[in-house]
Amino acid sequence: MKKAQYTQRGPVPQASIECVEFADPVLGEGQVLLQVLAAPINPSDVLTLTGEYGRLPPLPAIGGNEGVGKVVAHGPGVSTPPLGQTVLLPIGLGSWATHVVADAARLMPLPNDADPLQLAMMTVNPPTASLLLSEFVDLQPGEWVIQNAANSGVGEYLVQLARRRGLKTVNVVRRDSAVAAVQAAGGDVVLVDGPDLGRRVAAATGQETIRLAIDAIGGQATNRLAGCVGEGGTLVNYGMLSGEDCVVSPRAFVFRDVSLRGFWLALWFRKATPPQQMAMFGEIGKLIATGQLKARIQATYDLPQIKQAVAAAAAGERDGKILIVPKV
C-alpha cells in the first residue's frame, strides 16, 4: 500500500511530497478498508502544501481532500456498505493513497456503474459552484451572473448549474486559448479579461443589470468585476489565483453600494446540518452519475508520480483537472 505524504511545507509544492509505502492497517470496530479509485488535486491542495491555505493539517500529513473508493474489507461489526460498493470518501481523509481506513457510518454509497473520475471531483468544486449561485443573491431565471476564472473546475460547474437554473453567464478568462472550452461548456458570453472589461460586458449583455459577480483571482481582477455589477450588486470572492489581495475601488462601495463578500466551503460544511449536506451531495451526485454535470480532465497520474502530478496541477495553463488514479 502507498500514500503521498509530506512532512514539511514550502514554496515549491511538489518538493515537499513523496510516495511512501505503509503497512496493511488493522481495522477497528465499525471501520472499513477502502481502495481509492480516484482523487483530484485542487488549488486548495496546492496551497496546503505551500502553507498558504486557511486550514492546515498537522504534520506529517497525507495529501488530498476528496475522492472515491470501493469497499474491500470490513472491520468488526460492519456489514454495510457491501464489499465492492463505490463510496464517497469523507472530506479531509487524505485521499492520495492506494487505500484508506474510514468509519462505515460516514460513507455515502455512489452508483457502481458511474465514472469514478467524475465522481471523485464531487465534494469540493460542484458544491462551491452551487452555493455561490444560491447563498448570496436570490437570482431569478433569466438573470445574468458574471464570474472570472471561468475555465477553472468551479467555473465550469457554475456554467452548467447556472444553465440548469435558467441563469445566463458572463464568463471571464485570462487567455484566448481558454475561450473555446468555456463556450463548449455552455457559457453564454466568454470574454478575455482586460482594462475595458466593463464596457465589453455591458455591450454583450445589452446593458442588463448584473446583481452577482464571482471572483476567484483577487488583485485588480476583483475591481474589474466590481465595475460590471449594478447598483447594490454583490461581489463574492472565493480564491486568490493571482496571489494578491482583493482590490476594490471606493467608488464601487460609495457610489454604487456594491458589497464584497467571501466564501469558503469549509465554513459551510461546519455550519450546515447533516440533512443539508446530504441534500447537496444527493443532488450533485445524481447529476454527475447521469452525465449531466461533468468537468474536463487533463491527465491522470499514479501515486509514484505524485511530484509530477502536483507540478502539473500547480501550472498556470491547464486544460482540465489533474487526478491521482492509484494502481493497485
Which residues are marked as active site? 53
Four-residue CA torsion sign, 274, 279, 280, 282: positive
Q: Return the axis-axis angle of helices 274-289 and 125-134, rounded to nearest 10°.
A: 110
Establish how many alpha carbons lie within 13 A of residue 185's alpha carbon, considering only the half-sphere containing its beta carbon.
Answer: 31
Cβ atoms of 110 and 284 within 8 Å: the answer is no
> Which of helix, strand or coil describes residue 262?
strand
Rounded to a whole number, what is the largest CA-CA distance in the chain? Answer: 64
Cβ atoms of 287 and 300 within 8 Å: the answer is no
Burial (CB count <10 Å: 0-12, 13-18, 19+), residue 291:
exposed
* Cα gap 153→281, rounded to integer Å: 17
Cα–Cα distances (Å) from 50 to 13, 14, 47, 242, in that order, read 5, 9, 5, 15
